[in-house]
Amino acid sequence: MKITDLKTIRFKSQSCIQRDPIGHAHPGPAMDTVTTMYVIETDEGVCGYSVPDSYNVLNPGAAPQAWAGGDSGDKTANAVAAGSGAGFVEKRLKPILVGEDPFSREKIFNILYKMQRGGANSALTDPLLAHIDKALWDLYGRYANLPVYKLLGGHRDKVLCYASIQVGDHFKGGLSDPEDYAAFAKKCVEMGYPAVKLHTWADENWGGNNCIGKPSVDKDIACCKAVREAVGPNVELMLDCFHYYDRYDAYKLGKAIEDLGYIWYEEPMEEYNVSSYKWLKSKLNIPIIGPEVAKGKNFTRAEWIAGGVCDIARVGAGDVGGITPMVKTVHLCESFGIPLEVHSGGAASLHIMGMMTVPGRYYERGMLHPFLNYCCPPWLNRMIDPMDEHGFVQVPQLPGLGYDINWDYINENRL
């Protein structure tokens, strides 16, 4: 079989997600945006698709203001569009893929990964690479008539999830103070979530475009304490906080949530400060999880594990460039007996969790906010990750990644 085309299908959509200047998602006024689907076609008619698979609408009455210096729309689509647009895919990637056997994922991945070196192909970001790789896996599953997790030897057809709460904001009744978090965490538990992860504040300079400021560790601690009190001792809690604390602030916050019985501590410091993570790990008993954003795919994760930098490893499709390097990271973690928690939701995460035998406790569902309803994107006929009343998400059972594409919506809105 040969690949005959790699194309992008761009269509109009709406988004209630806005980005603050440093890129975190918050609720925003509904705005027009563009969503991109990646399509790989073959000479045997089988195709593979990759498309963003999370979506939110504003709850009735919620009217968050626009963020000064922020941006709107889907993160992955933005990240890809910003660096590349359809032009890069058409001019640079398509000629590489066309003519290749679509099952030669290792070859294709290795060509694309090596293209990422240096600045010449900076448009080939990891999120874009992830879309190409995901489309190849989707194609493979559609050809073999199996969901991706079964291609990978998987067996779990459902996984427990946690409510992943958005980064703190300045919206009263949203995520503006510890009380807001406590109320929303309690609501998440009532909705059926067996565990909750907080993202506390990323900057005190809300409403401005100054991103240099540092949030308050004391406010973070107050927030974590209020949430623990609200949900009681039996709900598992995790913290992902401001990512640029120094080691002493990171220690103070980590010790506080260790005492509050939180089960992991995520990215409190610059991830390239590997020696600070080693220092922090030596001081705390709460498991430290990472890396998430440090570049270097499974290579960097290998060094974090062998070097004793983290207690729990972390990998996401967009972080490392797709399912292919996620699988390698799973195998790496299993070989060292290191737990792995998958970053971010979506089809790739669910299929990876379905195949993992190394511990990976939770699927990250969301991100959630009091103002938002996390729901099915209009370009899909069914949600990729519906949760049942026991807090489980079903791994998609359709062949491939499990996208049930709403072609009517896409064709009506196609650009």
Q: Does 281 bind its own copies (CB under 8 A)?
A: no
Among 19, 26, 75, 150, binds its own copies (CB under 8 A): 150
# chain residues binding its own copies, by CB under 8 A: 37
- Tokens 């000479």 belong to 43
Residue numbers 47-106 binding its own copies by CB under 8 A: 101, 103-106
Return the number of the residue (93 or 327) whose C-beta is nearest its own copies.
327
Rounded to a whole number of angstroms, the minimum distance from the CB of residue 354 to its own copies is 9
Q: Does 301 bind its own copies (CB under 8 A)?
A: yes
Return the number of the residue (38 or 137) whose C-beta is nearest its own copies.
137
Binding mask 343-382 for its own copies (x = CB under 8 A): ------------xxx-------------------------
Among 87, 153, 208, 213, binds its own copies (CB under 8 A): 153
Among 334, 373, 383, 413, binds its own copies (CB under 8 A): 334
Binding part of the chain for its own copies, among 50-58, 80-88, 263-271, 325-333 by CB under 8 A, reads 325-333
End-to-end, the C-alpha distance of the chain in Å comes to 30
Rounded to a whole number of angstroms, the minimum distance from the CB of residue 40 to its own copies is 14
Binding mask 162-201 for its own copies (x = CB under 8 A): ----------------------------------------
Q: Does 142 bind its own copies (CB under 8 A)?
A: no
Cβ contact 216:177 at 8 Å:
no
Q: Does 154 bind its own copies (CB under 8 A)?
A: yes
Which residues would be at the binding site for its own copies (CB under 8 A)? 101, 103-107, 109-110, 143-146, 150-155, 298-299, 301-302, 305-306, 324, 327-329, 331-332, 334-337, 355-357
